[in-house]
Structure 1
Amino acid sequence: MWVTSSTATALLPTAIALGNFDGIHRGHQEVVRSIVGVDATGSEDCSIRRTVVTFNPHPREFFSGQRRQLLTPQEEKVRLLEALGIEQLVLLPFDRELATLSPQDFVEKILVRQLQAKRIGVGKDFHFGYQRQGTAEDLRAIAQNHDIEVKIVSLQACGRDRVSSSLIRQSLQEGDIPQANRLLGRPYQLAGTVVTGQQLGRTIGFPTANLQLPDNKFLPRYGVYSVRVVLEKTALLGVMNIGCRPTVNAEAKPTVEVHLLDWSGDLYEQTLTVNLEEFLRPEQKFSSLDALKAQIQTDCKRAKDLLNSQL
């Protein structure tokens, strides 16, 4: 996939899915599908670049001045969008100049002139332009003056809940992994390289892989999880702990450690993709290493039973 932060180097012309797309959840996926595969006449046109246009940094990060933890950092976002058929990701630098563009100017300067949009897809709740004054219907009206089709995608629901990045964050913070996964349309993932840790798990018979994640990856509730792990093309079962390890010299910075069930081998410098399935228990401090070891044994058995029952 071609990734660029400059419209001057974008591949043109484009069919654009427009939005923030943090999470690439079920609603985002429908917006992407609205511009993939067909041109405005309903037939496939390989010359039109299937493109996601989003903002960097996230507008909320720009206005708050606080770094935002993301459900899908850039590398993960690229991988997910590519699987959906997107050929190009344009990361518009979100600065004061972009933030003060009127809805009309945003469409005409960015989407029409610079990106040569032929088709645009957005969610029904999309807002854009200065102080978010523009709506999805405004986008359609402005684009229509340039003979650009705008597909407005209805909001997606999961049961009684509207699919949204904020609800996914809330579910992860509460440890409600099944709900987060339903909203995403796939398991929430933590993908990273295995780095050297303190190797304390090895001393009590439960070696763990210490994962180095992107600094801006959103972490769910601290505690222990049952997980499915992909190592290269091999699927494995595991138990994951997220937290500051209060029993063994608590650290200020949280760690993400994975113990693979019924597997042994050298994992250092390898990449693991960890799919979260169930929250087992919150992080806690034990009176001794023996008590910790007994609890880990219980966690492993429970995780194995849960994961095997879901096959």
Structure 2
Amino acid sequence: MWVTSSTELALVPTAVALGKFDGVHRGHRQVIQPILEDIGKRESADTKTFSPSVPSKDRIYSTVVTFNPHPQEFFTGQPRTLLTPLDEKVQQLRSLGVEQLVLLPFDKELCALTPEEFVEKILIEQLQAVQISVGQDFRFGSKRTGTAQDLQVIAARYGIPVTIVPLESCSEEVFPEAPISSSLIRETLSSGDIQHANKLLGRPYSLIGTVVKGQQLGRTIGFPTANLQLPKDKFLPLQGVYAVRVFITDETLELSGNGYLGVMNIGNRPTVNGTQLSVEVHLFDWCGELYGKKLTVQLEKFLRPEQRFPNLEALKTQIQLDCNAAKAFFGC
């Protein structure tokens, strides 16, 4: 997939899905689907393999257009953690079949554009959009004055169709009729309700990081762990212990096979007087070296909150209970 922060380097013409897309959840996928379906119809007879290095004037590029940094971070001046940092977002979009991701620099210049100027300068002149898809609640332009309906009217002046996708609602009893949103998923993750968060996402929530050396205390009590270094802007769920499925991945973050089962702890390790947050994964029946490898850890079930134990022996006993609970959940 072609990724660029410059509209001048974008592959054109484009079919555009507009939004923030943090999480690439079920609702986001509904917004993206129209640009994939339309291009599929237009190019059903095209058997050429997509290659960003060999752009073609005969094709239309399915393009997700989003913003960097996240608008909330720009307006508050505070760093914002993300459900899907850039690498993870790229992987999720690529898996859907999106060919291009354009990261519009969210700055004062972009904020000052009126809705009409945004459509004319960004979508028409620079991205040469021939089709646009947005969610029902999409807002754009100076002071968020532009609505999805405004976009539809403005784009119609240029003969460009705009699909307005209704909000995807939850079917779960916990959130009856609530629209699926990144905010709702964050709230669900923060409460430790990982199984409902996964339903809202339409996939397991994942942590992706590189294994680095820790204090190696796990080895001394028979439960060696892989210490994960995560992107600084990754949103972390409730601290505690999770049943997880782990994949060893390459730089493309593609997953293969069924992965490895295990348990993961997110927390400060109070039993050993830890002061910094760490993410540690113990894999069942694993033999081998993991240092330097990139892991994708899918969170499947929240087992318990983090707690302090009186000694390492008590901690060891609890970890064994956690492993048993995780194995029972996975049916192994």
Structure 1 and Structure 2 fold alike (TM over 0.5): yes
- 1:226 is matched by which residue type in structure 2? A
Provide the rounded CA distance (Å) in 2 between the counterparts of 1:65 and 1:142: 31
Provide the rounded CA distance (Å) in 1 between the counterparts of 2:261 and 2:39: 43
Q: Which residue of 2 aligns with 1:267?
A: 290
Q: Which residue of 2 aligns with 1:225?
A: 242
Count of aligned pairs: 307
Q: Which residue of 2 aligns with 1:199?
A: 216
User: Is the partner of 2:35 in helix, strand or coil?
Assistant: coil
Provide the rounded CA distance (Å) in 1 between the counterparts of 2:224 and 2:3: 38
State the shift of 1:39 in Å.
Answer: 4.5
- 1:237 is matched by which residue type in structure 2? L
Q: Does 1:75 align with 2:74?
A: no
Q: Does 1:187 align with 2:187?
A: no
- 2:74 is matched by which residue type in structure 1? F
Q: Which residue of 1 aligns with 2:14?
A: 14
1:149 pairs with one of 158, 161, 169: 161
Q: Does 1:307 align with 2:330?
A: yes
State the shift of 1:43 in Å.
Answer: 2.8
Equivalent residue runs for 1:94-109 within 5 Å? 94-109=106-121
State the shift of 1:262 in Å.
Answer: 2.0
User: Is the partner of 2:331 in helix, strand or coil?
Assistant: helix
Q: Aligned in 2, Cα 1:39/1:269: closer, same or farther, shift over 3 Å?
A: closer
**Alignment check: 8 A CA contact 2:212 2:229 kept:** yes
Q: Which residue of 1 aligns with 2:102?
A: 90
Question: Alpha-carbon deviations, 1:249-307, whole Å to 9, x = none?
Answer: 212x3111000012221111111111101111111111000010010010000011011
**Alignment check: 8 A CA contact 2:212 2:227 kept:** yes
**Alignment check: 8 A CA contact 2:39 2:62 kept:** no
Equivalent residue runs for 1:239-258 within 5 Å? 239-251=263-275, 253-258=276-281
**Alignment check: 8 A CA contact 2:227 2:281 kept:** yes
Q: Does 1:137 align with 2:136?
A: no
State the shift of 1:95 in Å.
Answer: 0.4
1:208 pairs with one of 225, 229, 233: 225
Provide the rounded CA distance (Å) in 2 between the counterparts of 1:142 and 1:132: 15
TM-score, structure 1 normalization: 0.96
Q: Does 1:62 align with 2:86?
A: no
Provide the rounded CA distance (Å) in 2 between the counterparts of 1:2 and 1:43: 20
Q: Which residue of 1 aligns with 2:320?
A: 297
Provide the rounded CA distance (Å) in 1 between the counterparts of 2:331 and 2:35: 38
Q: Which residue of 1 aligns with 2:128?
A: 116
User: Is the partner of 1:68 in helix, strand or coil?
Assistant: coil
- 1:117 is matched by which residue type in structure 2? A
- 2:183 is matched by which residue type in structure 1? S
Structure 2 gaps of 5+ residues are 47-58, 250-255
State the shift of 1:117 in Å.
Answer: 0.3
- 1:250 is matched by which residue type in structure 2? G
**Alignment check: 8 A CA contact 1:39 1:119 kept:** no
Provide the rounded CA distance (Å) in 2 between the counterparts of 1:144 and 1:185: 33
Provide the rounded CA distance (Å) in 2 between the counterparts of 1:115 and 1:211: 38
Q: Does 1:167 align with 2:145?
A: no
User: Is the partner of 2:120 in helix, strand or coil?
Assistant: helix
- 2:18 is matched by which residue type in structure 1? L
State the shift of 1:308 in Å.
Answer: 1.7
- 1:27 is matched by which residue type in structure 2? G
Provide the rounded CA distance (Å) in 1 between the counterparts of 2:248 and 2:86: 21
State the shift of 1:217 in Å.
Answer: 0.4
**Identical pairs, percent:** 62
- 1:306 is matched by which residue type in structure 2? F
2:309 pairs with one of 271, 274, 286: 286
User: Is the partner of 2:272 in helix, strand or coil?
Assistant: coil
Q: Which residue of 1 aligns with 2:56?
A: none
Provide the rounded CA distance (Å) in 2 between the counterparts of 1:278 and 1:255: 19
Provide the rounded CA distance (Å) in 1 between the counterparts of 2:39 and 2:141: 26
State the shift of 1:131 in Å.
Answer: 1.0
**Alignment check: 8 A CA contact 1:20 1:55 kept:** yes
Moved more, 253-262 or 180-189: 253-262
Provide the rounded CA distance (Å) in 2 between the counterparts of 1:74 and 1:66: 18
Provide the rounded CA distance (Å) in 2 between the counterparts of 1:283 and 1:27: 32
Q: How much is the aligned-residue C-alpha RMSD, in angstroms?
A: 1.3
Provide the rounded CA distance (Å) in 1 between the counterparts of 2:229 and 2:70: 23
